[in-house]
Amino acid sequence: MAAAVLRHCWRGLLQNSGNGAVCTVRSKILEGFRQKSTVQYISRPDHPKLAYRRVKGKSPGVVFLPGYGSNMSGQKAEALEGFCRSLGHAYLRFDYSGHGASEGVFSEGTIGTWKKDVLFMLDELAEGPQILVGSSMGGWLMLLAAIARPEKTKALVGISTAADHFVTAFKTLPIEVRKECEDKGVWTIPTKSNEEGMYTVSMDFLREAENHCILQSPIPITCPVRLIHGLKDEDVPWHISMQVAERVLSPDVDIIMRRHGQHRMAEKDDIKLIVYTIDDLIDKLTTMV
């Protein structure tokens, strides 16, 4: 009952409601957003240390997986921590090796490397059932983790999910462009999602990524899946989320398209939608229990 009241009041706070119930716990909710977890590090034998922030709390927990070249300090990651803290739910965010505050060399990373990072963090730090939230490449890793750890994954929220994207996008290039990239050993991808205005991906990275492609056959995921994508995403086409929805075996799949949404999905209304989606899944999973 208390959790339900807090959830109702949290929604009212975002909507600037004047409801009296909201006011009685407004300070509690705001406190959750003001507080911030501290950066910690976890060691692994023969592997780079990973930086993470964690809030302990009740189940289901929420794990945020950032995108390619991104980190755990973005607006979506910060907002989700405030939300989870305000409701008393566990929350974990971290940087893949070579990203953010974690050790490692970014250019040496692969989809396989970062998948192992995700599985390690799930095994070592995420207690009990989890809702995985993956942004862009993090959405691909989210799916791979759900396949590998079905017992721990209770729901998925994909944001601009980039499943197989590097591989399929490269294969759609004209053959002469692909040949030029192969000769140079790298593929330069224009983007509006970073300050450099481009990503540079090695051919070795692409070849390794092919081992983790999942859209050519049914995806053995049966938990609830929510896929949010912007129709104006210029980095990862929205039809990838449609493909994911068609391939997963789960009977409970929703696709939410944002008419003006872009790749980062970091506008205030985008984040509000993401949090509402997670909130509904927490309700659903709690009711099921």
233 catalytic? Reply is: yes
In the set 95, 117, 164, 233, the catalytic residue is 233
229 is a catalytic site residue: no
Residue type, 81: E
- What is the C-alpha separation between 91 and 57, in angstroms, rounded? 7
Q: Which residues contact 262 (CB under 8 A, 6 or more apart)?
A: 192, 230, 232, 233, 234
Separation of alpha carbons 197 and 212, rounded Å: 26
Question: Encoding tokens for residue 35?
Answer: 């507080």
Q: What is the torsional sign of CA 278, 280, 286, 288?
A: negative
Active site residue: 86, 97, 135, 136, which one?
Answer: 136
Distances (CA, A) of 45 to 40, 49, 124: 17, 9, 14
State the Cα–Cα distance between residues 195 and 280, nearest whole angstrom: 34
Q: What are phi and psi of 44, to 5 degrees?
A: -135, 140
Q: Tell me the C-alpha to C-alpha distance, in Å, between residue 130 and each of 54, 72, 127, 181, 282.
A: 13, 17, 8, 40, 10
φ, ψ for residue 230 (rounded to 5)?
-95, 135
Of 99, 165, 229, 263, catalytic: 263
Q: Which residues of 192-220 are buried (b: 16+ CB within 10 A; e: fewer)?
A: ebeeeeebebbbebbebbeebbbbeeebe
Angle at 40 between CA 118 and CA 277, to 5 degrees: 50
Residues annotated as catalytic (active site), given as ranges = 136, 233, 263
